[in-house]
Structure 1
Amino acid sequence: MNELMNSGALNIAALALSLLVTLVGLIVWFFVNRASVRANEQIELLEALLDQQKRQNALLRRLCEANEPDAAAAESAEKPQPPADDFVRLVAER
């Protein structure tokens, strides 16, 4: 009779252990899956941001090219040279 009770207790203990392992596995899977979904969302947002930055760079490049003066006009225009001591007056003496 004692042998039957021990085998029944072992079966219940094995069942409880397997349920506990299954529960821990599901909890671990939940957090791993959640982290994976968040990482995928962040990747999508970063890719969208990269695409917008590429478009902004292209627009900026076109604006810079449109606002460039002609090469001949730039060579013919003389630029006045600022006096050399301008920066000296801006620096405070210690």
Structure 2
Amino acid sequence: MNELSVGALNIVSLTVSLVVLVIGLVMWFFVNRASSRTNDQIELLEELLDQQKRQNALLRRLCEANEPEAVKEESVEIKKAEEVEDDFSRLVAER
């Protein structure tokens, strides 16, 4: 007597399916929205990085242009000495 009829089972099954579908669509909407925002942020960060690289290169050129010749020769010697020290330190085993 308390058994559900076949029609009632079909309606319950259809209702559950629709609820699951609506929940899935809502979840897809928010995941897709977050993904597109993340992609926009990544593009902006890459553009910012590119601009910073260009600014650093320009600053380096300006500094080298304003640097006197004697300082340039000393900086070249210092760089060579640092390269030699770096090469030697690579031979020492770290613990």
Would the TM-score normalized by the shorter structure come out above 0.5? yes
Q: How many residues align?
A: 72
- Percentage of pairs with the same residue: 73
List runs of 5+ in structure 2 lacking aligned partners: 75-95
Q: Which has the larger radius of gyration?
A: 1
Structure 1 stretches of at least 4 aligned residues deviating more than 3 Å after TM superposition: none
Report the counterpart of residue 12 of structure 1 in structure 2.
11
- Where structure 1 has 5 or more consecutive residues not aligned to the other structure, the ranges are 76-94
Q: Which residue matches 2:24? A: 25
TM-score, structure 1 normalization:
0.71
2:58 is matched with which residue? 59
What's the CA shift for 1:16? 0.5
Residue type of the alignment partner of 2:51: Q
Asked if 1:37 is matched to 2:36, the reply is yes
- 1:70 CA displacement: 1.4
CA RMSD of aligned residues (A): 2.3
| Corresponding position of 1:50 | 49
The structure with the largest helix share of the pair is 2
TM-score using structure 2 length: 0.70
Tell me how far 1:30 sits from its aligned partner: 0.1
Q: Deviations over 1:36-87 (max 9, x none)?
A: 0000000000000000000000000000000001118xx9xxxxxxxxxxxx
